[in-house]
């Protein structure tokens, strides 16, 4: 009954049955405990304690319950989903034969917490790999620019082992292409994707739009958007954000207007893209209108990113006093993004005194070490020919051990090399 309720998604009824078992004086066995653990990770909505995994584990040891693969797997999954990956590893190491489900949970848990080397270790030791294990590695690698190339390498290796990509594989590897701005690889992935039934999905369409936008191929992104039979808020948001980041603010705002006409409610990311577009187009009144509508019309409370966008919008237009008033009236303490936006505007318009205020706030927040605020303030002072102040600031940088970052460029030769490898192994 407990298992049946869970399979039907009736978590509350499942938990109620567990309590009845306890009231009837019955002793739970390993299967019962595994069901409780599954309930705790299946949307129990506060019906079970947050540390259910630990409590169940303690009961298993106390009652000397014989643990099998099913119970070990449920324990590992419960610990991983509660963020206690160290405890999950202790249980994982107790298993004589590590199954694919446990290995996948451990890989995902390590990747989510940034322990890439430990995830790689588990992956190497997983004897019988399946597509789910490969997908866990691809997804984990795709989240960072430092490891995104490895995501593509694992994607290729997976097919060498005879596994055909599924929707999760395509979504993750497309995300890696976005991080790398690897257009050639992304295009080859799309060609492969078009031969499958996953191409028309909303998730994949949104991922492709994001990838093409970040590669600077905004027309290709729009073609994918137009081709999609069904669009949701993420599809519209990806396209709006893509236009904004590719220097086409008018198209972004036109699409934002169309989205509202289609009764698709914007989320906080959509508003961020629209406000950014207003900033690039210099549309102060339109930006104010969008910003004010967030909480009034959509019950979306502006976040720090939205305030930073508004400060940037007002500052770019030369409305520094209005930007300053907005910062002072914020319901929360401004973060470094807000102060950096104000400092940049002061630098642009030569307001030395306000630049000092913004820079000092950044010095406090960034604990002295980051050079950006010093350089921006120095440029503002130099533009105003306040050379004594420039000298004082540079002396302060020396005393605090702050140095200006050396300029550099990055050429994606590794990306190009990997594109050839993908081309050879993707049919």
HEC states along 91-148?
HHHHCCCCCHHHHHHHHHHHHHCCCHHHHHHHHHHCCCCCHHHHHHHHHHHCCCCCCH
Alpha-carbon distances, residue 366 vs 108, 313, 336, 342 (angstroms): 32, 23, 8, 16
Tell me whether residue 149 is in a domain: yes
Tell me whether residue 317 is in a domain: no
Please report the pLDDT score of residue 185 as a whole number.
87
131-141 and 116-125 helices, crossing angle to 10° = 160
275-328 pLDDT, tens per residue? Answer: 999 998 889 999 999 999 999 999 999 999 999 999 999 998 999 999 999 999
For residues 391-417, average pLDDT: 55
Tell me whether residue 198 is in a domain: yes
pLDDT category of residue 82 using cuts at 50, 70 and 90: confident
Q: Which two tokens stand for residue 334?
A: 């401004």
Tell me whether residue 147 is in a domain: yes
Tell me whether residue 274 is in a domain: no
Q: What is the DSSP letter of 267?
A: -
Total tally of structural domains belonging to the chain = 1
pLDDT category of residue 349 using cuts at 50, 70 and 90: confident
CB-CB neighbours of 4 under 10 Å: 11
Q: Which two tokens stand for residue 117?
A: 């080397």
Q: Are 255 and 236 in contact (CB under 8 A)?
A: yes
Please report the pLDDT score of residue 111 as a whole number.
95
Tell me whether residue 145 is in a domain: yes
Q: Are 243 and 255 in contact (CB under 8 A)?
A: yes
* Nearest-angstrom CA–CA distance, 337 and 311: 10
Please report the pLDDT score of residue 201 as a whole number.
77
Q: What is the DSSP letter of 232?
A: -
- Which residue bears the tokens 């590992």? 76
Q: Which of 66-80, 340-354, 398-412 shows the lowest per-residue confidence on average (mean pLDDT)?
A: 398-412
* Nearest-angstrom CA–CA distance, 369 and 245: 29
* Nearest-angstrom CA–CA distance, 321 and 315: 8
Domain range enclosing 153? 129-229
Q: Which of 114-123, 211-220, 324-333, 406-415 shows the lowest per-residue confidence on average (mean pLDDT)?
A: 406-415
For residues 383-404, average pLDDT: 60
Please report the pLDDT score of residue 114 as a whole number.
92
Tell me whether residue 385 is in a domain: no
pLDDT category of residue 395 using cuts at 50, 70 and 90: low
* Nearest-angstrom CA–CA distance, 344 and 354: 11
175-192 pLDDT, tens per residue? Answer: 999 888 888 888 888 888
* Nearest-angstrom CA–CA distance, 249 and 331: 29
Alpha-carbon distances, residue 303 vs 194, 269, 275, 314, 339 (angstroms): 38, 10, 12, 17, 14
Q: Which two tokens stand for residue 167?
A: 């929707």
pLDDT category of residue 413 using cuts at 50, 70 and 90: very low
Q: Are 365 and 335 in contact (CB under 8 A)?
A: yes
Tell me whether residue 55 is in a domain: no
* 3-state class (DSSP) for residue 358: helix
- Which residue bears the tokens 């994607």? 155
194-231 pLDDT, tens per residue? Answer: 888 777 778 888 889 999 998 899 999 999 999 998 89
Q: How far apart are the first and last CA of the chain?
A: 47
In order, the DSSP letters of 22-81 are HHTTPPP-HHHHHHHHHHHTS--TTSS-TTHHHHHHHHHHHTTPPP-HHHHHHHHHHHHH
* Nearest-angstrom CA–CA distance, 293 and 301: 10
∠ CA 276-281-287, nearest 5°, is 55
Q: What radius of gyration do the chain's Cα atoms show?
A: 27
Residues 6 or more apart whose Cβ sits within 8 Å of residue 181 = 214, 215, 216, 412, 415
């Amino acid at each position: 009954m407990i298992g049946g309720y869970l399979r039907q998604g009736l978590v509350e009824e499942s938990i109620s049955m567990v309590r009845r078992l306890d009231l009837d004086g019955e002793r739970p066995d390993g299967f019962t405990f595994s069901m409780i653990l599954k309930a705790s990770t299946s949307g129990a909505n506060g019906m079970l304690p947050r540390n259910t995994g630990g409590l169940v584990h303690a009961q298993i040891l106390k009652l000397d319950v014989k643990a099998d693969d099913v119970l070990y797997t449920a324990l590992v999954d419960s610990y991983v989903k509660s963020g206690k990956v160290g405890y999950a590893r202790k249980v994982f190491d107790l298993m004589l034969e590590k199954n694919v489900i446990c290995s996948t949970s451990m890989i995902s848990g390590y990747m989510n917490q940034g322990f890439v080397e430990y995830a790689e270790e588990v992956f190497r030791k997983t004897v019988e790999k399946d597509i789910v294990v490969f997908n866990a590695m691809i997804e984990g690698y795709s989240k960072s620019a430092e490891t995104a190339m490895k995501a593509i390498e694992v994607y290729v290796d997976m097919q060498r082992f005879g596994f055909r990509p599924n929707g999760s594989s395509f979504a993750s590897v497309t995300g890696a292409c976005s991080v790398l701005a690897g257009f050639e690889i992304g295009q080859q992935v799309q060609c492969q994707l078009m031969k499958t039934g996953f191409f028309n999905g909303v998730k994949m369409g949104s991922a492709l739009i994001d990838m093409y936008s970040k590669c600077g191929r905004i027309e290709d992104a729009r073609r994918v958007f137009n081709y999609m039979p069904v669009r949701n808020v993420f599809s519209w948001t990806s396209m709006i954000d893509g236009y904004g980041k590719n220097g086409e603010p008018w198209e972004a705002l036109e699409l934002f207007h169309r989205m509202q006409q289609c009764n698709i409610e914007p989320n906080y990311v959509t508003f961020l893209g629209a406000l950014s577009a207003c900033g690039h187009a210099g549309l102060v009144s339109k930006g104010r209108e969008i910003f004010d509508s967030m909480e009034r019309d959509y019950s979306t409370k502006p976040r720090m990113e939205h305030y930073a966008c508004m400060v940037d919008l007002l500052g770019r237009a030369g409305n520094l006093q209005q930007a300053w008033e907005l910062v002072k009236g914020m319901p929360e303490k401004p973060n470094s993004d807000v102060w950096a936006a104000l400092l940049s505007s002061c630098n642009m318009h030569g307001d030395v005194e306000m630049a000092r205020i913004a820079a000092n706030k950044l010095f406090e927040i960034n604990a002295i070490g980051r050079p950006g605020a010093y350089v921006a303030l120095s440029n503002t002072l130099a533009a105003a020919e306040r050379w004594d102040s420039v000298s004082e600031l540079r002396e302060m940088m020396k005393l605090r051990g702050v140095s200006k970052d050396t300029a550099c460029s990055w050429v994606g030769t590794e990306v190009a090399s990997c594109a050839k490898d993908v081309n050879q192994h993707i049919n």
